[in-house]
Structure 1
């Protein structure tokens, strides 16, 4: 099978086949560029502009009518102004060439000094210094003097009476009677028990612990007193009584109480005299012997009060039956008292004189405590305190007389015998040897 013939493309003009030339001929360009026409003559000159025309100047602005001023308002009322605090007039600082030495800065004004302050120009005559050096403790911190021994002996009848009462009450417990009696006897050791002492001081004597400010005032004075006496001050506790009276107390075995008035109103020298007096009670054994005797006499005191109440009640009931009933009660009570006296060999009769004897021993213990304070060098201060106590007693007597219609109330003989403190003149008389200039 044969192939069909291929078509032949047409010949275009300019191709070699069409023109019949072998190679194309390049065009010929001129060697010199064509001459361009020259520019014509210069442009005509424009006429120069003349000066700018003068415009008319603007005249002054028109004057407008002035607005009327506003009407004046009334001025506010003048209130009183507080006066400014006076202030020093400040002067301009001087020139360095003319300035003299620089004055010291002004110090703030110090508060007024108390008469108890040693820096005061006129200190209180009874002010003492609380600065002390080494403390020399004495060998005997406590002792039992004759006053303490006499106090214990005088409480012996009260002790026996209380023992009898405790024995009667213990009889109702059968086998435990002896145990109860021995327990009561051993309870006397509670007098030296610190918590028991605190409870007694708080509830019986109405004392309290001092505040930090009160302690800061009491402790320096107390350290001075104990340093002079050679006593360990930490063995005792300082308490305060909220009272406006001048008083102090030596309680139990380790408590020294002072009133708020004595602490705040007395100079520290007189306060030291008061504390030294109470320390004398502790050193001599007066405080613990009195409390121990009071503790062992308590059952007898309670029984006596119950007996008095029963006697009064029986006497009132007997009056309803006339003279016969009264005579019966008197005979019954008399027979009971006679039987008791004959059984105990007349020992209950001593109970009638015990209060007077105890009061006499108490007065003697006060004089011994005064001597202790005076021996430590506080005799003038203690005399001043006694004088203030005397004035306080005189004011109390005057108030009682005013309530009695102007008639003075005099203390009887029995009242003076039952007083536990000597009078002012007696105490001052015993201080005279310590008030001599050469002592």
Structure 2
């Protein structure tokens, strides 16, 4: 389900051909749809021996995630040790070995459906995506059946590389993008998969989950205590805050674990920078496949739509960069509950800055190419 073999859409001879007639060359086929402007290259390209790899951005993301993973391992061991010391050791080992499970097809499907809000394409969507995906993967020398195409109900011209074998295309992109630009977006996401950004990010998020969950619970608990506006609650919150600060100081300096504390504190900043580098690499990959001009048009269109005032003819919906997996389901252009107007403006400004940087780098790649 969701896979598109190389022969699924273009390998069959149309039924309208009579005996002895041959199928016209791919590049000269009549366009059945106004959006069917993708130039299909003729000729066969051999599949690459390695369908995916790990570039510098993916490797660096794994390295940056190690300190948080160590804290997660400690959290899992401590929680289950409250029941039994032996159970704590067993749970920590099992959790450490559970990483590869997130790359199983069924687990990936559950993540895509329930955490990212994806669905399988309809037959009509699968037919169109199959033709475009076949051209992208053929140029890349990648087996199209290696990955699955899913649909996201999100209001942005985007696609998402998720888990280890899933590429999600937004319904908005299917409705508004012609085939050439849709191919450029898919080529960009294929670059994430081929470079290893997707599986490295998923693995890093998985191993960081216990530590981040514990951190959120601590923050929520302290916030609840301070919001009681009662002396007992505020006093308990203050005491717990002082205890946490004292524990971190002792752990960092007395136990000489300052490198771990510093690494965890700097982790989000480094991961954000590495994500930007991964975007540049995926853009360069799309340029290498011959989709640079089309990708530049998509980025400029989305950038203009995000910069336009609300209610303007250009669109006016701010572009919200999706968080690292597990993603929050729902339209990406809808502000999350609880965001203040100032925070919303900061997020929108950051997204615009990211677009501008990608556009500049993409133009540089096209000029060099």
**Cα drift, residue 427 of structure 1:** 1.4
Which of 94, 97, 102 matches 1:186?
97
Change (3 A) 1:324 1:410: closer
Residue 432 of structure 1 is matched in structure 2 by 363
The residue correspondences of 1:268-417 to structure 2 (distance < 5 A) are: 268-316=179-227, 319-320=230-231, 328-342=239-253, 343=255, 345-346=257-258, 347-395=260-308, 410-411=345-346, 416=350
**Cα drift, residue 141 of structure 1:** 1.6
Could you state the TM-score of these two structures normalised by the residue count of structure 1?
A: 0.64
If asked which structure has higher relative contact order (CA below 8 Å, sep 6+), I would say 2
Structure whose CA Rg is larger = 1
Which of 80, 104, 107 matches 1:170?
80
Residue 265 of structure 1 pairs with residue 140 of structure 2:
no
Which of 137, 145, 149 matches 1:226?
137
Q: What secondary structure does 1:155 align onto?
A: helix
Q: What secondary structure does 1:411 align onto?
A: helix
Change (3 A) 1:422 1:295: farther
Query: 2 CA distance for matches of 1:212 and 1:168?
Result: 49
Query: 1 CA distance for matches of 2:217 and 2:342?
Result: 37
Change (3 A) 1:266 1:377: same
Q: What secondary structure does 2:290 align onto?
A: helix
Query: 1 CA distance for matches of 2:103 and 2:235?
Result: 53
Query: 2 CA distance for matches of 1:323 and 1:178?
Result: 36
- Residue pair 1:248, 1:258 contacting (<8 A) in 2 also: yes
Please give the root-mean-square deviation of Cα atoms over the aligned residues, in Å.
3.1
Change (3 A) 1:330 1:191: closer
**Cα drift, residue 244 of structure 1:** 2.8
The residue correspondences of 1:185-224 to structure 2 (distance < 5 A) are: 185-224=96-135
**Cα drift, residue 332 of structure 1:** 3.0
Query: 2 CA distance for matches of 1:408 and 1:352?
Result: 21
- Residue pair 2:65, 2:208 contacting (<8 A) in 1 also: yes
**Cα drift, residue 350 of structure 1:** 2.5
Query: 1 CA distance for matches of 2:100 and 2:353?
Result: 31
Query: 2 CA distance for matches of 1:139 and 1:333?
Result: 51
Residue 327 of structure 2 is matched in structure 1 by none
Query: 1 CA distance for matches of 2:234 and 2:192?
Result: 53
- Residue pair 1:363, 1:422 contacting (<8 A) in 2 also: no
**Cα drift, residue 164 of structure 1:** 1.0
Q: Which runs of 5+ in 2 are unaligned?
A: 1-27, 311-315, 319-340
Count of residues in Structure 1 that have an aligned counterpart in Structure 2: 312
Query: 1 CA distance for matches of 2:342 and 2:197?
Result: 38
Which of 164, 167, 170 matches 1:253?
164
**Cα drift, residue 317 of structure 1:** 5.8
**Cα drift, residue 423 of structure 1:** 2.2
Residue 157 of structure 1 pairs with residue 67 of structure 2:
yes
Query: 2 CA distance for matches of 1:164 and 1:344?
Result: 17
